Every structure is written in C-alpha cells, then in structure tokens.
Amino acid sequence: MTKNGQLLAVFNSAHRVMKAENILKKSGIPILLIPAPRALSTDCGLAIRYESELNESVLFTLKSENLLPLFIYRKDSDTHYEIIWESV
C-alpha cells in the first residue's frame, strides 16, 4: 500500500527494477519493492516505493549506475500523479 506523498519509481523490466532495488538497499536508502498499483501501467508489474524526501538520493544513486526509472509517480488522495523530474 502506498501512503499519500510517497513516490513510486517505475521501470521497464523486472530485471531493472530488481537491480535498482539491490543498488538502493546496498546504499542504505530505505525503499520497498511492491506490486505496482493497477492504476499505473507498468511492463513489469513492480515498483519501488519510497518517501518523497529521498527522491534526490534515489535518483542520484540510480543515475550513477545508469539505471534511472522510466516514470516516478506521487500518490495524493486516491490518485497517482506522474511527477516531472530533472536529471540529477
């Protein structure tokens, strides 16, 4: 379950999302691999959930591994909104 304000990083394959999970956990960033909500269209059915204040750390860490997500969504109320993010 995703709480309001949390972010979901969506990737284009199960391999990439699991690799991202491993990298982020090894970096000590608290994330959770979850089934992607049905409202989001994902190719792999998984997403990485994390708190919004960690977004810069998550993106910086993933960029250093050339593994940025396709989309990042923020949950507000009962809806997930795609957020626009600049390259870090």
3-state DSSP call for residue 75?
A: strand
Backbone angles phi, psi at 50, to 5 degrees: -160, 165
User: Residue 87 pLDDT > 60, yes or no?
Assistant: no
Q: Can you give the residue ranges of every domain in the chain?
A: 7-82
- Reported confidence tier of residue 10, pLDDT bands at 50, 70, 90: very high
Angle at 46 between CA 29 and CA 56, to 5 degrees: 30
- 51 closest CA partner among 7, 2, 4: 7
Please tell me the CATH code under which domain 7-82 is placed.
Answer: 3.30.70
Q: Are 6 and 52 a contacting pair, CB within 8 Å?
A: yes
pTM of the predicted model over 0.95: no
Residues 33-51 pLDDT 10s: 999 887 776 677 899 999 9
Residues 26-35 pLDDT 10s: 999 999 999 9
> Whole-angstrom Cα distance, residue 80 to residue 25?
24
